[in-house]
């Protein structure tokens, strides 16, 4: 993408309404614009990051064997009356009446809708286990929407629902979700710690929240620092292997880690003192097992092996896709701007032409641009007439992890400059070497795509 033809409305001034870094930086980098309180338009750069995150979520859900689908944003109130949540949900639910006086609502979550789909079409235990998920806009009329996309009223969420024959199978689904979430966040360059949580209005008896440590987080968290040494790395996980998934869950849930809702001082005090941490965190996901809470009142039963009808055991599992954009920035920025992890960066490379109009510089930039495109990577090419200082400031603000700077002076000696946004390290090298380095840097992120060729193709078309 050429900057001269892109829409990147960066702001020079720091917007007064933004209280935290991610909100400030998203506004300054031209990623979002507030449409009304807690509701945002995603401008091109923000939209690109949202799509990258969404894609990782899709890939990891499908790797775990979960099936994508799409449910609507508007739902009929009747289903929520069946589960008893129409009245329970309170003021956060946006209630709407259509022209025929039917009560509708903008979905804050989808347990009722999915249970209805399930009970209409699935009748036998032979169709289980099954996990369906979608990524869709949600609406919760938060009292105090704030911090930009972190606590919006309209927000984008992945929510998945497992249907299993009994508790053991549903606990495996819970474990599978925990493992797939750990992978998902790691691919985004984030450490999200699973912490034991209350189940709240969703109900049930088993739940973990995933928290990214950040001073601006809304939750107070207590943990054993040993948990921050854990990582999945390149471990290959067989998601059908109950013991393997349970083992990983065991590994992550053994060190103490809780939010203030479930914190227990006496247990915390058993952690060696030098490993006890009290900090703040941002909730980027939550998983629940709630048994038959919805299947029983809504009649979602299957015929078991003995011919008897049994209510299915369910859980629901959410990832805050739009909140993640903010959370990633909270965890990755400095005083000059955002620093995108390679896995979610909107463009892989920023290319700065110090002298557009200079035939040598123009030619070298075009060649680099093409060579990087041939790798399947995207470049934001600053081909504008702005002065060098301004170009660098914009690149630093929007946070592309790698920058290639091209100018007539370097080209005389056959070199361009490759700069790492995170460390500030830079090195001169030939344009060919720069392309090779970029290919090496991004190779691991490319190699992790799911193997299915159709899925890969269709992802590309909407990115």
Indicate the residue among 151 and 348 with the shorter CB distance to ligand ATP: 151
Least Å distance, CB 280 to ligand ATP, is 13
Q: Which does 371 bind (CB under 5 to 8 A by kind): Mg ion, ligand ATP, none?
A: none
Question: E strand or H helix at 431, and its extent?
Answer: helix 431-447
- The Cα 296–Cα 310 span in angstroms is 9
CB-nearer residue toward ligand ATP: 160 or 410: 160
- Residue 175 DSSP SS3: helix
- With CB under 5 to 8 Å by kind, the binding choice for 28 among Mg ion, ligand ATP, none is none
User: Minimal distance in Å, beta carbon 207 to Mg ion?
Assistant: 8
Rounded-to-integer distance, Cα 363 and Cα 353, Å: 10
Own/partner contacts of 117-125, CB < 8 Å, gap of 24 or more, are 117/71, 118/161, 118/163, 118/300, 118/312, 119/295, 119/298, 119/299, 119/300, 119/301, 122/163, 122/302, 123/302, 123/303, 124/302, 124/303, 125/165, 125/302, 125/303, 125/304, 125/305, 125/310
Residue 94 CA to residue 108 CA, distance in Å, equals 8
Least distance in angstroms from the C-beta of 408 to ligand ATP: 47
* Rg, Å, the chain Cα set: 24
Of the pair 9, 203, the CB lying nearest ligand ATP is at: 203
| DSSP 8-state symbol, 190 | -
Residues that bind ligand ATP (CB under 6 A): 109, 140, 142, 151-152, 155, 157, 283-286, 318, 320, 322-323
Report yes or no: 47 and 359 within 8 Å, Cβ to Cβ.
no
- Of the two residues 162 and 394, which places its CB atom closer to ligand ATP in the complex? 162
Only segment of 112-120, 230-238, 283-291, 293-301 that touches Mg ion (CB under 5 A): 283-291
Residue 377 φ then ψ, to 5°: -115, 160
Which residue has the closest beta carbon to Mg ion?
A: 286
CB of 178: closest distance to ligand ATP in angstroms? 14
Q: How far is the CB of 117 from ligand ATP (least distance, A)?
A: 20
Burial label for 88, CB within 10 Å (0-12, 13-18, 19+), is exposed
For Mg ion, the closer CB: 165 or 211: 211
Instruction: For the CB of residue 286, give the shortest distance to ligand ATP in the complex, in Å.
Output: 4
Binding partner of 155, given ligand ATP, Mg ion, none, CB within 5-8 angstroms per partner class:
ligand ATP
Instruction: Give CA–CA dist 428/132, Å, rounded.
Output: 50
Residue nearest to ligand ATP (CB): 320
Q: Which range of residues in 279-287, 355-363, 377-385, 443-451 is near Mg ion by CB under 5 A?
A: 279-287
C-alpha 397/C-alpha 418 separation (Å) is 17
Q: Which of 450, 431, 433, 457 is nearest to 376 (CA)?
A: 457
Partner interacting with residue 445 (select from ligand ATP, Mg ion, none; CB below 5-8 Å by kind)? none
What residues does 124 pair with on adjacent strands? 303
Whole-number minimum distance, CB 267 to Mg ion, in Å? 22
Instruction: State the binding partner of 323 from Mg ion, ligand ATP, none, CB within 5 to 8 A by kind.
Output: ligand ATP
| Choice between 82 and 218, CB closer to Mg ion | 218
> To which H or E segment does residue 220 belong?
strand 219-224
User: Distance between CA atoms of 408 and 353, rounded to whole angstroms?
Assistant: 9
Least Å from the CB of residue 155 to ligand ATP: 3
- 211 is in the binding site of which of ligand ATP, Mg ion, none (Cβ under 5 to 8 A by kind)? none
Q: Does 286 bind Mg ion (CB under 5 A)?
A: yes
- 141 vs 362, which CB is nearer to ligand ATP? 141
Q: Which residues bind Mg ion (CB under 5 A)?
A: 286
């Amino acid at each position: 993408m050429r900057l001269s033809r892109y829409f990147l409305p960066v702001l020079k001034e720091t917007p007064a309404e933004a209280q935290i870094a991610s909100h400030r930086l998203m506004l300054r980098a031209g990623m979002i614009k507030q449409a009304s309180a807690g509701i945002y338009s995603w401008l091109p750069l923000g939209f690109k990051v949202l799509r990258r995150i969404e894609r990782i979520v899709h890939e990891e859900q499908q790797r775990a064997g979960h099936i994508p689908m799409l449910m609507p944003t508007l739902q009929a109130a009747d289903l929520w009356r069946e589960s008893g949540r129409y009245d329970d949900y309170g003021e956060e639910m946006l209630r709407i009446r259509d022209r025929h006086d039917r009560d509708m609502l903008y979905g804050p979550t989808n347990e009722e809708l999915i249970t209805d789909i399930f009970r209409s079409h699935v009748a036998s235990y032979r169709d289980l286990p099954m996990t369906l998920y979608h990524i869709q806009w949600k609406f919760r009329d938060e009292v105090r929407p704030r911090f930009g996309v972190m606590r919006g009223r309209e927000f984008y969420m992945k929510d998945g629902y497992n249907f299993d024959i009994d508790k053991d199978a549903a606990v495996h689904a819970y474990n599978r979700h925990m493992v797939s979430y750990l992978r998902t966040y790691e691919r985004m360059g984030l450490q999200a710690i699973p912490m034991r949580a209350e189940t709240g209005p969703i109900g049930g008896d088993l739940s973990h929240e995933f928290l990214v440590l950040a001073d601006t987080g809304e939750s107070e968290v207590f943990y054993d620092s040993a948990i921050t040494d854990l990582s999945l790395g390149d471990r290959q996980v067989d998601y059908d292997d109950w013991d393997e998934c349970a083992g990983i869950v065991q590994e992550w849930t053994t060190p103490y880690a809780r939010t203030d809702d479930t914190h227990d001082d006496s247990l915390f005090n058993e952690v060696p003192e030098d490993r006890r941490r009290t900090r703040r965190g941002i909730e980027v996901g939550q998983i629940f097992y709630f048994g038959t809470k919805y299947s029983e009142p809504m009649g979602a039963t299957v015929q078991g092996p003995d011919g008897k009808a049994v209510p299915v055991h369910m859980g629901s599992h959410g990832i805050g896709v739009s909140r993640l954009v903010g959370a990633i920035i909270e965890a990755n920025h400095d005083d000059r701007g955002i620093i995108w992890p390679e896995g979610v960066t909107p463009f892989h490379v920023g290319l700065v032409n110090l002298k557009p109009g200079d035939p040598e510089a123009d030619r070298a930039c075009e060649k680099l641009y093409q060579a990087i495109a041939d790798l399947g990577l995207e470049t934001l090419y600053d081909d504008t007439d702005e002065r060098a200082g301004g170009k660098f400031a914009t690149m630093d603000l929007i946070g592309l992890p790698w920058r290639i700077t091209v100018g007539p002076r370097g080209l005389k000696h056959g070199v361009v400059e490759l700069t790492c946004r995170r460390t500030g390290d830079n090195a001169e090298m030939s344009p060919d070497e720069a392309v090779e380095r970029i290919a090496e840097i991004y190779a691991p992120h490319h190699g992790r795509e799911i193997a299915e060729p159709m899925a890969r193709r269709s992802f590309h078309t909407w990115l």
